[in-house]
Structure formats: C-alpha cells, structure tokens
Amino acid sequence: MSDEILQKEEPGQAAESTGTKAETKDVQAAGEKEAVVAGVHNYSREDSYVWPEDPRVLRKLEWFQDQKLGLMMHWGPYSQLGIVESWALSDADAEWSRDGIDWEVTGEEFKKEYFGLNRTFNPLRFEPEKWADLAKEAGMKYLLFTTKHHDGFCMWDTQYSDYKITAPDCPFHTHKYADICAHLFESFRKRGIGIAAYFSKADWHVDSYWKEDTEKGKFKSRGPSYNPAENPEEWERFVTFTHNQIKELATGYGKLDAMWFDAGWVCERAGQDIRLGEVIEQVRKVQPGMLCADRTIGGPYENYVTPEQCVPEKPLSIPWESCITLGTSFSFKYEDTYKSPREVINLLVDIVVKGGNLAINVGPQPDGRLPEGAIRTLKGMGAWLGVYGEAIYGTRVCAPYKKGNIGFTQKNGTVYAIETFAKETDPAENTVWIPYKGEVHEITAMGGEKVISFTEETGGYRVTLEDQEYESVPVARVFCLK
C-alpha cells in the first residue's frame, strides 16, 4: 500500500460483460485488473451515482454526511507478520505484495504458513473499551472494522466457517473478548459511535471460491479458481455461503449503520454475481435504512463512493468517503511512521470542504494494543477537534470550497473559513484575507483568537486579529462568518 495521498478527478471503471463463456473469462480478468491496482481500489464516477429511493436509506445518508470522521481498522492474523493484509496469497499479485518476505520457501509453502497464522494469533492485550475511549477522544464518529478480509479469516463467531477467531485452533478462542466484533461493536456503540462492518466479497480460504482441482491448479489470482459460468453449482454454493455470513453479521451483532463491501472484482459484470442486492434487501428488513457501500460497482447498492488513498480534486455532489492510512500501511507494520495531527487535520479539512468523510485507518498490533505513534496522533486530532469541531461535523459544502490554504464549510446559517497551516514554519499573520463573496455582517474567530475588525473588499473580507505570540504555528484557525 502506498502512503502517498493522491488527487484524483477521473476514476476508472471496470469492464462490461459481453456474454459468451470465452468473453466471460476475459471480462473476469479485466474486472480483477481494473477494480484494484496493487491492492488499491479505484472509485466510481460521480455522474454514474444512483440515489437510493428508500427514504430510510436517504435519511441514513444524511446522518453519514454529518459524521465526517471515521476510524478504519484492518486487523487479523496477518498483523503478526507486519505485511500487507491478504494480498500475498494471490500469486497474480506476488510482484508487489510479497516484497519484504523471506523467500527461502516456495510460494506454496508461504501460503500454507499464512493460512496457519490463526494458530498463533493471540491478542491477549486487546481491550475494546480502551479502543473506544481513544476513538471518542480523537473525535471519531463511526468505526469501520474488518470483519473479514480476502484471506477469509473471520473476526466474529461465524457458524459458517472454522477459519475464525473463536475456533479451537486459535489460542484466543478462550479469552473473554474472543468474539472480537461483538465486544468491539458494543464498546463503540456505548460511546455513541456508529458501526460500519467491512466485509470482503472474496474469500480465499473457502473451497467454494479457491479450489486446487481446477484447470488453474495451484496458481491463484484474485478471483475464483474456476469459471462461475461453467460451474454454476459451485458458484451458487459460494453465493449461499456469502449470503449466510452477511445475514449473520446483520442479525446477530447489533445495529449496523453500514456494510462496506470490498473486493470490487466480485461483481456481475466480471462474471462473479453474488446477488448482493438480494441479500441487502433481506438485511434491511432487520436493519432499516442500513447503508451499503458496494465499492466500485455503482448502481443502487453503492450508497457512497470510497476513494482509497486519495482525495478527489474537486468537490463531489454525492456521498463519499476517502479511506486513508494513518501510517504507511492499512495493516500493522513494524516500526511504521505515522502522519502528524497537523497532516491529518489538513487532510480532513481538504476532504470535508469537498463534501466527503475521512476514514483514517489504524492497524492494531498483533498483541491487541494500538501503536504508540498512532495513539499520539489520534489524541492530537482530538485536541484540535475539541475546539474547532463545530466547523467540521454536520457541515456541508460552501462555495468557493477552497482557495489557497482556506477552506469553507457551512451549517445553520454560519459559514466557516478554515485557515490551515501545512508546516510549523508557515507564517500566521494577524491580518487574514478571506476570499468569500457572500454578504457578511459579523466575523468572529473560534478558539483563543480575537477579531478586532474586518473590512469588505473586492472578492472577500480582510480580517484583523488581535496581536498574539504563538509558541508554535496553529494547525488551523477557524473564522465564523454570519
């Protein structure tokens, strides 16, 4: 995974199916290739978005757009290795995903060792209440947690797979927090934090998706090891398995605000139709209004789009969420480096002024603790949001959106001008030019700043602040325009 935050305006889309068996194979390969590049998903185009018709889903989307900041977490047995989650299992992705692995063993031996990590995964220092307390302090409004990644390991007590955290061959199964999803979700809910369940539509452990007695043999790619069109009974077995797990999470683990579906190559146009809409409609009878994020697929079940490791260049008029790593990897990486509170707040402002949410990802350690570097940044974020969060939460876009280092949001008749400072060495002047052309009768500053005067000039307002000596340049200053 790259730590670089990209600006993207024209996301790609997967290929369309044309029907014949030979073409289905080509489309399946194209879908796998185009949906994800080096493990990073593209995102659907704004002009192809389909607004939901269910008023309960629309109300939940308004809720979602109010939240602005979520905590994403990739966690599983792979954290023991400190490598990218799941991807090294795919032979087709070996070139980029197996970097840093000691290849004194064959790829086949590595896959056996990877799948055997469940036998040593024992996060005895996992304390869900502490995670939830930290998330609350950091200003998080929802949790996006990996219930199952592509490798198929389940972080809940599923009844449909033995490859799970509560299985007898996983040493953590006797722990009081063994059903990790159950305890984590409840801890976060108690603090008023919403729950979104990440779920991979692909499952590289279950034999109805990856088999060895096929024409592909032991070589594995992202998709199934057989052609679903030529093996419909086998594919239906996988569809049933997937539906059962989705319904299990949605009916046995409390209120879910959203389900977030990864593995964009698993879709109808790539010859891998799991009939997601069918099961989501069943789930919504139990979870009315629950959001569904079927990433990169478009249509009525991609209720919000999910740029990954990037920020759109311009504001989007549809619901969206950028998922971006706090460190350099989605999964835990030994001796990782983490973005500073300044970097993350600058990133959050850039996203919010364009109408989006930020899901900032932290990969927990294999022992169940969160990395100290991540904790420091999360607390720093919370300190700033505790003072200035009014300009972030519950806001909507406001022209001119962003000019230079000043971004704009609005809420309840107030326009917020957020002046960010990318570096500690940036000058923080006492006179600030705010390029806002709307009518303004009053300008105040949040935090400890005091506005002495403001004057309207062509194209905006010039604001004079009381002289103030800064020990260090602020992360950002916020002005309220009424």
pTM assigned to the model: 0.93
Task: Work out the mean pLDDT of the chain and round it to a whole number.
Answer: 92
Average pLDDT of the segment spanning 445-455 = 96
Question: Looking at per-residue confidence, does 32 or 86 come out higher?
Answer: 86
The pLDDT, as a whole number, for residue 22 is 40
- Residues 414-426, mean pLDDT to the nearest whole number: 96
The confidence band for 217, taking pLDDT boundaries of 50, 70 and 90, is confident
102 pLDDT higher than 90: no
Q: Give the residue-averaged pLDDT of 401-425.
A: 97
228-266 pLDDT, tens digit each: 999 999 999 999 999 999 999 999 999 999 999 999 999
**Type of residue at 185:** F
Q: What is the mean pLDDT of residues 167-194?
A: 98
For residue 41, the model assigns a pLDDT of 75
Q: Residue 10 pLDDT > 60, yes or no? A: no
Average pLDDT over residues 472-476: 95
How much of the chain, in percent, has pLDDT values that exceed 70?
A: 92
Q: How high is the pLDDT of residue 35?
A: 62
**Quick one: pLDDT band at residue 295, thresholds 50, 70, 90?**
very high
> In the prediction, which pLDDT does 298 show?
96
Q: Using pLDDT thresholds of 50, 70 and 90, give the confidence band for residue 11.
A: very low
pLDDT band at 21 (very low <50, low <70, confident <90, very high): very low
**8 A C-beta contact, residue 40 and residue 93:** no
For range 160-186, the mean pLDDT: 98
Tens of pLDDT along 320-361? Answer: 999 999 999 999 999 999 999 999 999 999 999 999 999 999
Number of other residues whose CB lies within 10 A of the CB of residue 150: 22
What pLDDT is recorded for position 251?
97
Res 420 pLDDT > 70: yes
Q: What is the pLDDT of residues 365-397, one digit of tens each?
A: 999 999 999 999 999 999 999 999 999 999 999
